[in-house]
Amino acid sequence: MRAVIIEQPGNVALGTRSVPTLVDGAVLIRVRTVGFCGSDLNTFRGLNPLVSYPRVPGHEIAGVVEEVGEGVPREISTGAHVTVIPYTACGQCSACRRGRINTCRNNQTLGVQRDGALTERITLPWQSLLQGEGLDRRELALVEPLAVGFHAVARGRVAEGDVVAVIGTGAVGLGAVAGAVRARGTVIAVDVDDDKLTMARRAGATHVVNSRSGSLHDRLQELTRGDGPDVVIEAVGLPETFLAAVAEVAVAGRVVYIGYAKAPVSFDTTQFVRKELDILGARNATADDFRAVLTLLRGKGFPVADAVTRVVRMDEAADALRGWDADPAAVTRIHVDLD
Ligand SMILES: [Zn+2]
Ligand SMILES: [Zn+2]
């Protein structure tokens, strides 16, 4: 069967892989659509330390159940449209023992530590599937990045009355916007791209701030009557946005980092103490986060068509990844349709 393979950093092409065999407790999925994630781009660029090569990328998945192994519950039947929780949990490590399975020490995300979904068929344990009835392939392939944003909202304990600034409105940041709105926060979306800020409004942001065309500090102070936001969610991964989150958050506020910083960041740690901040990391997402996103999408409460910048066929996927590498800002999501 065909597969998109990143052979080495900078080298991606259409190749072949053998069809996986179905084992007990597993399901054979015919992959319909895969979204390219920033982590796939980093794999292509050789910037993802968790990846070895060659690697089939892809973990944002819409698929159809084609065959069901022994011991799989009846609710999962052939022909069902599904999305996938692309992580694993060992059940043994300290994080798993504490119930924090989304950050399992031995996690293997599809397309990162193991081959991913940009291939015609994959097999997965039935527990990794989520039923997607009523949702189309565009929606199903967006569930994972939005769920990562929802997870950050859960980590930040966003509740009614909170003012939440979300810095960075790519797919994950848009998930954080929608998740914070769902948690009854008032959202200020921050980006350097007006088109992305328009999407953030459609995802429910009350205010938008283009930090390139004015002072982020002044705008946030104005919008919060001098307090700063109760929660700041950082979804960019640049040193300056890591620092802005701590500088702008209110006293006794919460900072949640989802962005993966590509370089070390130096902090003035007196702010942590003086403001008595909760500084939190958010990694991957839980099954509850995925289910909450499915509910959001079923309510048609998210601008799916805007977030999918481009749709390509499998034989165009390698070119699309190279194009994204050349002009990363222009893309929220590229979807690869396999059928
Ligand atoms: Zn992703
Ligand atoms: Zn574990």
Coil, strand or helix at 268:
coil
> Which residues place a Cβ less than 5 A from the ion ligand 1?
37, 145
Ligand 2 centroid to Cα of residue 259, in Å, is: 22
Compute the distance between CA of residue 117 and CA of residue 76 in angstroms, rounded to an integer: 19
Mean pLDDT of 247-258: 98
Give the pLDDT band (50/70/90) at residue 211: very high
Give the ranges where the chain is alpha helix by DSSP (H). Answer: 38-45, 94-97, 137-140, 143-155, 171-182, 194-202, 216-223, 239-248, 270-274, 287-298, 304-307, 317-326
If you write DSSP's letter for every residue of 25-48 in order, what string do you get? Answer: TEEEEEEEEEEPPHHHHHHHHT--
Q: Give the number of whichever ligand sits closest to the CA of residue 107.
A: 2
Is the model's pLDDT at 329 over the cut of 90?
no
- pLDDT value for 277: 98
Q: Quick one: pLDDT at residue 311?
A: 98
As a whole number, mean pLDDT of residues 132-137 equals: 96
Residue 207 C-alpha to ligand 1 middle, in angstroms? Answer: 26
Å from CA of 87 to ligand 2 middle: 11
Distance 15 CA to ligand 1 centre (A): 22
Tell me what the pLDDT averaged over the chain comes to. 97
Least distant ligand from the CA of 39:
1
Cα dist from 321 to 72, 77, 145, 332, whole Å: 36, 34, 18, 13
Predicted local confidence at residue 262, as pLDDT: 78
Q: What percent of the chain has pLDDT over 90?
A: 96
Mean pLDDT of 330-337: 94
d(CA 38, ligand 1 centre) in Å? 7
Mean pLDDT, to the nearest integer, of 89-115? 97
Which pTM value belongs to this model?
0.97
Q: Which ligand sits nearest to residue 90's alpha carbon?
A: 2
Q: State in Å: Cα 292 to ligand 2 middle.
A: 23
pLDDT of residue 260: 86
Per residue in 48-74, pLDDT (tens digit) is 888 999 999 999 999 999 999 999 999
Residue 45 in contact with residue 325, Cβ under 8 Å? yes
- Integer Cα distance of 43 and 58 in angstroms: 10
- Mean pLDDT for the stretch of residues 33-41: 95
CA distance 18 to 39: 24
Ligand 1 centre and the CA of 44: distance in Å? Answer: 14
Tokens of 279: 């500084």
pLDDT number for residue 330: 83
What proportion of the chain, given as a percentage, has pLDDT over 70? 100
Residue 44 CA to ligand 2 centre (angstroms):
27
Query: 91 CA distance to ligand 2 centroid (A)?
Result: 5
Q: How confident is the model at residue 261 (pLDDT cuts 50, 70, 90)?
A: confident
CA of 334 to the centre of ligand 2 (A): 31
Choose among 104, 118, 14: nearest CA to 62: 118
Cα 206 to ligand 1 centre (Å): 26
Ligand number with the minimum distance to the CA of 148? 1
pLDDT band at 1 (very low <50, low <70, confident <90, very high): very high
Give me the mean pLDDT over the 302-315 stretch. Answer: 97
Residue 338 Cα, ligand 1 centroid: separation in angstroms? Answer: 18
- Ligand nearest to C-alpha 61: 1
So what's the pLDDT on residue 8? 97
Taking 3-state DSSP, the helix, strand and coil percentages for the chain, each rounded to the nearest 5, stand at 35, 25, 40
**Which pLDDT belongs to residue 170?**
95
- Nearest Cα neighbor of 165 from 221, 240, 213 is 221
Question: Which amino acid does the sequence have at 138?
Answer: R
Tokens found for residue 199: 């999407």
pLDDT single digits (tens) 147-181: 999 999 999 999 999 999 999 999 999 999 999 99
> Would you give the DSSP letter of residue 55?
B
Residue of 10, 122, 112 lying closest to 55 (CA atoms): 112
